[in-house]
Structure 1
Amino acid sequence: MRFLSRRLVMPNDLNYANSLFGGRALEWIDEEAAIYAICQLETNCLVTKHIGEISFDSPATQGDIVEFGLATKRVGRTSITVTCLVRNKATKKTICLADDIVFVKVDPDTRLPVAHGKTESLLKEQTDRELRTLNLMQD
């Protein structure tokens, strides 16, 4: 799993108990997972079809920095399924896990599903190339 982005928990992100509001966390998860899927499939014509089980394990409070780990679970003909782990940057404690987030590529005019042309092995090669380019992976 690659941790690709971070957010600072601000006062307007809090619930009545002064911890990160679950709805805000879900908004962030959907956005971060969509960006990940868009980058993987190299298209922004994606829609969220499904978000599976979501479990909240520990709170985040004002001033915490949370980071989003994303990984590809499955690649279908028109879809990609990802997992998103949200954790506290300082403590590494899991805040939330959203599993089986499914995005589907759609035709921009008809809004019907269309093939994206990617496979799991192609995405792995693409990611490895990107990591080498960024010098994040040793040869």
Structure 2
Amino acid sequence: MRFLSRRLVMPNDLNYAYSLFGGRALQWIDEEAAIYAICQLESNCLVTKHIGEISFEAPAMQGDVVEFGLETKEVGRTSITVSCLVRNKVTKKTICFADDIVFVKVDPKSRKAVAHGKTKEMLVKQTIDEVKSLNLS
């Protein structure tokens, strides 16, 4: 799982118990997973089709930095399925896990599903090449 972005929990992100509101966490997950899928498929014409099981494990409090880990689970002809782990950046404690988030590539005019032309193997190679290009060694 690659941890690709972070957010700071602000006062307007809190629920009545002064912890991160679940709805805000879900909004962030959908956005972060969409950005990940867009980068993987190199297309911004994707729609969220399905979000499977969501498990809230621990609260995030105001001032916490949360990070989003994403990974590709499956690649279909028109779809990509990803998982997203939200955790506290400092403690590494899991805040929330969303599994089986499915995005489908659609034609911008007809809004019908269209093939994206990628395989899981292609995406693995693409990621390896991307990491190498960053020259992090």
TM-score by length of 1: 0.98
For 1:8 and 1:19, the matched residues in 2 are separated by 12
**Structure 1 unaligned regions, length at least 5:** none
CA shift at 1:113, angstroms? 0.1
In structure 1, the partner of 2:105 is 105
Structure 2 gap segments, 5+ residues each:
none
> Normalising by structure 2, what TM-score?
0.99
How far apart in 1 are the matches of 2:83 and 2:25? 14
Consecutive aligned runs of 4 or more in structure 1 exceeding 4 Å deviation: none
Alignment partners' CA distance in 1, 2:69 and 2:125? 19
- The number of equivalent residue pairs is 137
1:34-84 CA distances to partner (integer Å, 9 max, x unpaired)? 000000000000000000000000000000000000000000000000000
1:68 aligns with 2:50: no
Q: Percent identity?
A: 80
Cα RMSD, aligned residues only: 0.6
d(CA) in 2 for partners of 1:103, 1:73: 12
**Is 1:115–2:115 an aligned residue pair?**
yes
Equivalence for 2:40: 40
Q: Distance in 2 between matches of 1:108 and 1:56?
A: 34
Q: Counterparts of 1:88 and 1:10 in 2: how far apart (Å)?
A: 14
Q: Quote the offset at 1:135 in angstroms.
A: 1.9
The one-letter code sitting in structure 2 at the alignment partner of 1:92 is K
Partner amino acid, structure 2, of 1:75: V
1:24 aligns to what? 24
Q: What is the one-letter code of the residue matched to 1:45? A: C
